[in-house]
Amino acid sequence: MNSTASKTLLVAIGSPHGDDRVAWDVADLLASRLPGTVSTKKASVPVNMIDWIDGVKQLHIIDACDGGGQSGSLLRCEWQPDSSNGWPGLERGTSETPEASTQACRPPRHPSQAQSHPGHPFNLRGAGSHDFDVVSVLELARTLNRLPERIIIWGIVGKNFEPSDELSSELQSQMSAIANVIREEVTDAREISGAVAADSG
């Protein structure tokens, strides 16, 4: 993993359990394909994100979720703080894969999460006694004036989240396409290998 001194940070949150590891695997796929200006980090709990966000302008968060579409779908939300209602809202993004659904999705193994942050289309990772969920970590960062300028949250819909599960075949087959979609947005288009500069010959 490279340093977080760069302006863009990609944080993959997961666990080793079944489809909950998909964000880590996508990060592994992306690690060698991203320019030096993009840092990647893996986290097992969302609150660790706050260790790395100082100096970051653009933060991408990848996490698994269940519900909200077919397994292997990629969902995207952009965090848009709205101080007027006290809670920042997450605007529903566009579907990035043909199978993607824009329905609300629930976090794996944390079905009551939706009660914590009603109205958010993404409810990814739940909170615990030693942890904050993704939304709360962003709220904490905002309270402490440490929030990056732009935050994009990617949800990858999975279905197997038990400790003994392997990554599902649907996610395995979608992995490369998912990584490409995220890479295109994370990476400045001019830095993608093979891109043709507009002013070139």
Partner 1 sequence: MTETRHITVEALTRVEGEGGLSIRMNGDVIEDVQLSIYEPPRFFEAFLQGRPLEEVPDITARICGICPVAYQMTTVHALEMALGVQISPEIRRLRRLLYCGEWIESHALHMHLLHAPDFFGEHSGIDLAARFPDEVNRGLRLKKHGNELLEVLGGRAIHPVNVAVGGFYRAPRRAELQKLIPDFEWGLQAAIDSTRWVAGFDFPDFERDYEMVALSHPDEYPMSEGRIVSRGGLNIAVDDYENHFAEQHVRHSTALQSGMLEHKSDKTGTCYHVGPLARVNLNFGRLSPSARQVAEEINFSVPCLNPFKAIIARGLEVIHAYEESLEIIRSYQPFKPPRIAFDHRDGEGVSATEAPRGIIFHRYSVDAAGKIVTAKIVPPTSQNQRQIEEDLRDFLPSVLSDDDKTTAMGCERLIRSYDPCISCSTHFLTVTVERT
* Interaction between residue 1 and partner 1 (CB under 8 A): yes
**φ and ψ at residue 78, rounded to 5 degrees:** -115, 130
DSSP summary character for residue 34: S
Minimum CB distance to partner 1, residue 71 (Å): 21
Determine the Cα–Cα distance for residues 54 and 50; give it in Å rounded to an integer: 8
Count other C-beta atoms under 10 Å from residue 179's C-beta. 20
* Interaction between residue 103 and partner 1 (CB under 8 A): no
Strand partners, 40: 10
18: nearest Cα among 171, 173, 179, 181: 171
Count other C-beta atoms under 10 Å from residue 25's C-beta. 21
Instruction: Determine the interface stretch with partner 1 among 29-37, 97-105, 106-114, 149-157 (rule: CB under 8 A).
Output: 106-114
> Is residue 71 within 8 Å of 105, Cβ to Cβ?
no
* Interaction between residue 164 and partner 1 (CB under 8 A): yes
Minimum CB distance to partner 1, residue 6 (Å): 17
* Interaction between residue 177 and partner 1 (CB under 8 A): no
* Interaction between residue 28 and partner 1 (CB under 8 A): no
Instruction: Determine the interface stretch with partner 1 among 56-64, 122-130, 151-159, 170-178 (rule: CB under 8 A).
Output: 122-130
**Residue 178: partners with Cβ closer than 8 Å, 6 or more residues away:** 26, 72, 74, 97, 156
Minimum CB distance to partner 1, residue 196 (Å): 37
Closer to partner 1 by Cβ: residue 112 or 176? 112
Closer to partner 1 by Cβ: residue 51 or 191? 51
Strand partners, 75: 155
* Interaction between residue 136 and partner 1 (CB under 8 A): yes
Binding site for partner 1 (CB under 8 A): 1, 14-17, 24, 41-45, 47-48, 50-51, 109-110, 112-113, 115-116, 126-133, 136, 139-140, 143-145, 163-164
